């Protein structure tokens, strides 16, 4: 409260109220609104990070599948056969179910060899990693693509469904182009 003197005989009191901006602190309502806004922004950022993580996993799987393809090609050049002692360069028509689901085994020939690989000069990879979703990579000489059969190496993707149950989330590299069987 301030007193202003206008003259000796008159004085009056002017009550000044502090405006809202000059008050110290925030009301509960203002704090709740700020917390809600921060929550919405945090949710938006976290959802974008989740999408980036999935894209990073897909990119990692593609690089690893490419490295596996190179290792398989090198094995074929040296030994004349592919993982599982399968014919080099041949698409296995007739649904032979010859998929190698674990490329770390001696049967696959990439890290260690069984007796079927003559002139084996490996290891062709120091180790075969799991895909970014924790599943084994595979090699298949009768993989179905749009009704045709191809030789591929790949990952069963995020859902891990595989072993002749192929779907759109598989990440593959075609080693021998698809043929009609």
Asked whether the predicted pLDDT for residue 168 surpasses 50, the reply is yes
**CATH of residue 100:** 3.30.700
For the chain, what is the domain count?
1
Gap between the Cα atoms of 18 and 15, Å rounded: 10
Gap between the Cα atoms of 44 and 48, Å rounded: 6
Give one DSSP letter per residue of 18-75, joined into a string. PPGGGS-S--HHHHHHHHHHHHHHHHHHHHHHHHHHHHHHHHHHHHHHHHHHHHHHHH
Gap between the Cα atoms of 107 and 17, Å rounded: 87
Is residue 41 a part of any domain in this protein? no
Is residue 9 a part of any domain in this protein? no
Is residue 94 a part of any domain in this protein? yes
pLDDT band at 165 (very low <50, low <70, confident <90, very high): low
- The percent of residues in the chain predicted with pLDDT above 90, rounded, is 34
Gap between the Cα atoms of 177 and 151, Å rounded: 7
Q: Record the pTM.
A: 0.71
The pLDDT score that the predictor gives to residue 16 is: 41
Is residue 19 a part of any domain in this protein? no
Is residue 109 a part of any domain in this protein? yes
Strands 81-82 and 86-87: antiparallel
User: Which domain covers residue 174, as residue numbers?
Assistant: 63-179
Is residue 72 a part of any domain in this protein? yes
Is residue 123 a part of any domain in this protein? yes
Is residue 14 a part of any domain in this protein? no
Least confident range from 12-16, 46-50, 128-132, 137-141: namely 12-16
User: What's the pLDDT tens digit per position in 88-128?
Assistant: 888 887 666 678 889 999 999 999 988 888 889 989 999 99
Residues 111, 93, 64, 167, CA torsion sign: negative
């Amino acid at each position: 409260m301030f007193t202003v003197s206008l003259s000796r005989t008159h004085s009056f009191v002017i009550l000044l109220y502090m405006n809202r901006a000059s008050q110290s602190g925030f009301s509960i309502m203002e704090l709740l609104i700020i917390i809600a806004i921060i929550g919405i922004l945090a949710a938006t950022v976290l959802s974008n990070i989740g999408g980036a993580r999935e894209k990073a996993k897909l990119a990692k799987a593609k690089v690893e599948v490419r490295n596996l393809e190179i290792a398989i090609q090198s094995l074929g050049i040296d030994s004349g056969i592919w993982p599982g002692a399968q014919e080099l360069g041949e698409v296995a028509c007739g649904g032979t179910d010859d998929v190698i689901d674990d490329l770390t085994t001696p049967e696959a020939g990439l890290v260690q060899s069984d007796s079927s690989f003559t002139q084996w000069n490996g290891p062709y990879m120091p180790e075969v990693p799991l895909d970014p979703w924790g599943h084994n990579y595979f090699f298949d000489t009768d993989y179905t693509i749009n009704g045709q059969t191809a030789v591929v190496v790949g990952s069963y993707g995020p859902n891990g469904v595989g072993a002749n149950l192929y779907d759109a989330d598989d990440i593959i590299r075609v080693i021998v182009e698809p043929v009609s069987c």
